[in-house]
Amino acid sequence: MKKNYVIKESSLSHLIENLINENYDPEKLYYRDKIISRLERGPYELKRYIKQLPVIVRKDEEGNTIILTKVPEVIWVYLTGRY
């Protein structure tokens, strides 16, 4: 049995806006080693991004050096399970 749904223009525009904005933040930092380990097990098309990830060195609260990176949106989509 098919059901028809009526969507108002305002709710449709709100839905589209949410899909476009999502939660991707290009400035957010991720642990580089964890991103690389996920990409190594990922599809071939995404493995080329491993060499392109920037290396950002920071110190945590205890003074330990940690290596972080920023990820492009295509990698973020893969990591969130929507690739």
Tens digits of residue pLDDT in 10-44: 777 777 776 666 678 889 999 999 999 999 999 99
What's the rounded Cα separation, in Å, for the pair 83 and 62? 36
Whether pTM > 0.75 for this model: the answer is: no
Give the pLDDT confidence score for residue 21 in this predicted structure. 63
Which residue carries 């709710």 as its tokens?
Answer: 11
DSSP string, 30-50: EEHHHHHHHHHTS-HHHHTTT
Task: Name the 3-class secondary structure at 3.
Answer: coil
